[in-house]
Every structure is written in C-alpha cells, then in structure tokens.
Amino acid sequence: MKQRNLGKSGLLVSEVGLGCNNFGSRLDMAGTRAVVAAALDLGITFFDTADVYARPHPGRSEEYLGTVLGADRKRIVLASKFGGAMPEGRGGSRRWVMRAVEDSLRRLRTDWIDLYQFHRPDPSTPLEETVRAMQDLVTQGKVRYIGISNFAPWQVADAVWTARHLGGAGLISCQDEYSVLSRDPDSGQLEAMQHYGLGLLPYFPLASGMLTGKYRREALPNQGTRLVSSPLLRDHFLTDANLAMVEKLQAFCDARGHTMVELAFSWLLARPCVASVIAGASNRAQLEQNVAATGWQLTPEDLSEIDAISPPPPRMVHV
C-alpha cells in the first residue's frame, strides 16, 4: 500500500483509508475485529472515525475500534472528529472541545489522536475559539494534527488564517464528500486547499454504492440496500442525472477492461490534494476490492473523457 503525505505535513497516510462508520451499527464487535484485522493485513494504516458515528448509538464506533485495536493502535494513523450532536453536547465551544476529546480518548483507549477534525462549522461559536482549543490540544499532546471537514472554500481560508493568526498548530487537512459523481470541491474547494497546502480526505468515494456498478436504471437493487432504504441518501444520489452518468461511466470502464470501483478510486487519487480515499467496508472482500482499485493509471485523455461525462461544477468567477 502506497503512502502519501497529508497536505504539506509530515504525516503519512495510506492511499486507501478505512472509514469506521459501520463499526457498532452495521458491524458487531466480531465483524469490526475481522475488518480491522483485514485492513491491517492489506496495508491500510489510516483509520477514520468520529464521535457521532454508529447512529443511533453515537460513540459506539470509537468504542469498538478502541476495543479491537489493542497493541495495533501504534501501527495506524487514527483520525476522529468532534462537533456533531452527541447526547452530552455539540459544536465548537472550548468547553465542548475539551470535553469531546476526553470522551473520544476514553472510548478509543488511547492517549492521543493523530488527526482531530472539526466535523462541520458551528455558526454559534467564534471560529477563533474553536481553533485555539484545537491548538491547545496539540500543545497538551492529546492531538498530533488538526483538520476540518465540510467547510466551504471561504471557510477553509478563514480557518487557515485564523490558525496562522493565533500562532499555534496549523491545519493540515480537509475532509469532504468527493467522487466522480459528486464534484462540489471542484468549484473552488480544491483551489483553496492547493493554495494553503492542505490535504484532501474524500469520503463517499463510491457515491454510496452508485459507483459499484450495481445500480442501473433498468434494474435497481431491492429495499435491503442502504442507498435505496435511506431516503436521505436516495434523494442525494439516486437521481436520473446520476443514473445517466453511471451508464456512460460503465461503458467507459467496459471499453478499457476496468471496473467502476477502479475508476472511482483511481480518479480520486489522480486529483490534486487527495491523500487518502476513505471508504467503509463490511468484510475482507470489499477491502481487497478497494485496495486493488488503486492501480489504474488514468491518462490525460481518460480524464478529459471523464470530465465530458461528469462535468465539474462551474468555477466561481470574481469580477
């Protein structure tokens, strides 16, 4: 498994990361243990979770991951997030940040978190207050690096400059939804990341299953699948426009002897700033598929043809 620097930092992460949202929800403890063991065996070293993961049981993902890692904790880069709604609190206030990190450390059974990320902006708290609290966690040794998630381009710039103004640890990463079907970061987010030297950690790389090849207009999966059974995900991904693009992308892959999963991962790894592609998995076979999918070297001509099928959003123009 190849490693990449996360942004301009010295932190190395595996090109394929493991999203841990399934732990404690779709996977019980035995299933979590099997997936973690398989990921380590395949060379995956970047594990991403959050305090809110495993709804309707927030905190359980961290608990399961902390339980099964044991001595393997030192082998991985462990990332978590704060800011989402927990039973005890939410947001970016200093009071909550200090409480949230202690709770996550306890659940994860570790003394430090390698990458601690502000899950989403909190309009009720001054950004300076949140960033200062995160920087203090680095000074205290509870956190090694800090990042943000789900920030708009202007908010990325604001966060970077706030950290620089305060003079403590700088931000090194952004985590955002990004795939060949969901290209919002191409409207200005990637430019901001490149300018400030931030690494991108894309989630939903398979567009919640749309890029696995199993969703076709003429034969949609049954209600048992996560995408079809979740109204929120269905409305977001399962649209006529996306189904039309999937058909064309499938033909693109078929003509070159590759799979849709290979396209999804290799396209992301060819994009600027991308350090590790975060994907969940429920078994070893899915992990093996994800790891194997990184080997397709897309040519400039391939990338241009993909852009014609799935165009990037209009870029903001300032006049």
Residue 224 confidence (pLDDT): 60
Residues 45, 119: Cα–Cα separation, whole Å: 21
Which pLDDT band, with edges at 50, 70 and 90, does 235 fall under? confident
Residue 227, pLDDT > 90, answer no
Positive/negative CA dihedral, 267, 271, 277, 278:
negative
- Report all structural domains of the chain as residue ranges with CATH numbers, in order of start: 3-216+260-300 (3.20.20.100)
Catalytic option among 53, 178, 196, 215: 53
* 178 a catalytic residue: no
Nearest Cα to 89, choosing from 106, 79, 107, 102? 102
pTM over 0.75: yes
Which pLDDT band, with edges at 50, 70 and 90, does 204 fall under? very high
For residue range 82-91, list pLDDT tens digits in order: 999 999 999 9
The helix (H) or strand (E) run that includes residue 244 is helix 240-256
The helix (H) or strand (E) run that includes residue 17 is strand 16-19
